[in-house]
Amino acid sequence: MSAPFLTSDPRPPRPAWVEVDLDAVEHNLRQIRSDLPAHVRLMHVVKDEAYGLGALEVARCSVRLGVDALATFTVGEAMRLRTRGIEAPILLLGERTEEEFPWLVDHRLMTCVGSLAVAEALNAFAAREQRRITVHLKINSGMNRFGFPWRSAADWAPAVARLPHLEIAGALTHFAQSDELIKTFARQQLANFQEAVAILRQSGVPVPCLHTCNSGGFLDLPEAHADMVRVGILALGVYPSAVCRRLPDLRPVMTVKARITALQHLEPGDTVGYGMRYRAETPRRIAVLPLGYGDGFPRVRNEGAALIGGQRAPLVGGTAMDAITVDVTDIPTAQLGDEAVLMGRQGDAEITAHDVAALKRSVSYDVLAGWRGRLPRLYVRRGR
């Protein structure tokens, strides 16, 4: 049976939804915390609505557990937390543009800075405002996305040292490959980062907090833990990859569900859905679930399944915008109103985010965050 919903979407009910187990979030954060050496701080990355779960509800769990800081990508994401009472330190990932600067001061947001041009503009802005702005220096150690290039640290570090209105609270880098078996490049990035940090310090820039690890690095690169780790997906009970799963006993947080809203009986030769891509060879019983690619369900044909009555019901035909069709011939108890699971557990059966990722030809991150806003998020506490 479903647990009672804690908070529900203000929108009208819909027989398709995402269930978020907040006790599981807290359990996972506790497991992560207790696995970390006591001196290493924990930053919880809740960007993109905490990967689709709802950043506010997830961040409240982090705050309750005393997580040291939160991270979002956009100013808007951070603002949604601030205006709803989240006081914890928030670091904005990525890079800022000038029109975003005023929001940093007004709402106590820290930002990553990854170029001298932005650092100088931010310093000038802070000077005009007569405020200091807290930044973390992003160092590009080989990912080649955001960040000061590690190779030329000797060129930019002295210039960074001359920006009196910036409070440099830390330095970070991001791994291109932390969740695969071979860690050679991650170790090279760590060495590059350390070299750049040494030059920064020689140039008179104090960098109190160093951080490099995402979930993959936290799990598999203890030598890179430094002063803080930045964990996102692992707190949701999903391992970053199939080979990166050191910490046992994490609980999946997200379950995608729908109710059977129609049933059809097929005679041999009957087809299902657009393009008539499925043709019954024997009499079949088909259940219709009212969610589709308009909700983030992968656009597949005759692939994948839903769990109904604790059994796998294979998807037949294709994913439409608003519906999928599954074969329940072998689940004779299935009836209108029954709950189906599209991602998550039902009884002993499970469809993982990685399973859905395989259907979507993508990664679990994209799957979690890809369940669209049209699906209500319902928050539960299961205890345990």
- Give catalytic residues, as residue numbers: 47, 274
Given the rule CB under 6 A, which of 100-108, 194-202, 219-227, 231-239 is the region that contacts ligand PLP?
231-239
- By beta-carbon distance, which residue lies closest to ligand PLP? 232
Report residue 141 as tokens: 């150690």
CA trace torsion 333, 339, 343, 348 (10° rounding): -50
Per the structure block, which two tokens stand in for 10? 């203000």
Q: Is 273 in the site for ligand PLP (CB under 6 A)?
A: no
**Could you say which of 114, 232, 296, 298 contacts ligand PLP (CB under 6 A)?**
232
Candidate segments 158-166, 189-197, 210-218, 349-357, binder of ligand PLP by CB under 6 A: 210-218
Site for ligand PLP in 47-76 (CB under 6 A): 47
Using CB under 6 A as the binding rule, the residues of this chain from 79 to 138 that contact ligand PLP are 93
* Region class of 190: left (phi > 0), else alpha (psi between -120 and 50), else beta: alpha
How many whole angstroms separate alpha carbon 213 and alpha carbon 246?
A: 15
Report residue 336: phi and psi, to 5°: -50, 135
Q: Which is nearer to ligand PLP, 16 or 233 (CB)?
A: 233
Task: Choose the stretch contacting ligand PLP; rule: CB under 6 A; options: 80-88, 187-195, 230-238, 261-269.
Answer: 230-238
Cα separation of 44 and 58, whole Å? 9
Among 16, 29, 45, 119, binds ligand PLP (CB under 6 A): 45
**215 makes contact with ligand PLP (CB under 6 A):** yes
Nearer to ligand PLP by C-beta: 230 or 257? 230
- 56-78 exposure pattern, b = at least 16 Cβ within 10 A, e = fewer: bbbbbbbbebebbbbbbeebebb
Q: Please select the residue that binds ligand PLP; options are 109, 113, 233, 305, rule is CB under 6 A.
A: 233
User: Which residues lie across from 350 on neighbouring strands?
Assistant: 345
- Closer to ligand PLP by Cβ: residue 50 or 289: 50
Instruction: Pick the closer one to ligand PLP by CB: 123 or 178.
Output: 178
Name the token pair of 318: 């294709």
Count the site residues for ligand PLP by CB under 6 A. Answer: 13
- Only one of the segments 18-26, 190-198, 211-219, 338-346 lies at the binding site for ligand PLP (rule: CB under 6 A); that segment is 211-219
Yes or no: say if 240 and 179 are a contact pair by the CB < 8 Å rule.
yes
Nearer to ligand PLP, 210 or 341 (CB): 210
- In a 3-state reduction of DSSP, which class is residue 194? helix
174 touches ligand PLP by CB under 6 A: yes
- From residue 57, how far is each of 53, 107, 161, 217, 258 by CA, in Å? 8, 20, 39, 26, 22
Three-class SS string for 62-110? HHHCCCCEEEECCHHHHHHHHCCCCCCCEEECCCCCHHHHHHHHHCCEE
CB atoms within 10 A of CB 279: 13
Residues 19-38 that bind ligand PLP (CB under 6 A): none
Q: Which residue, 80 or 259, has its beta carbon nearer to ligand PLP?
A: 80
Task: By CB under 6 A, tell whether 241 contacts ligand PLP.
Answer: no
Binding to ligand PLP by residue 285, rule CB under 6 A? no
In the list 240, 273, 304, 370, the residue contacting ligand PLP (rule: CB under 6 A) is 240
N-terminal to C-terminal alpha carbon distance within the chain: 15
Distance of closest approach, residue 226 Cβ to ligand PLP, in angstroms: 13
Closest CB to ligand PLP among 54 and 292?
54
Task: Write out the residues near ligand PLP by the rule CB under 6 A.
Answer: 45, 47, 93, 174, 214-216, 230-234, 240
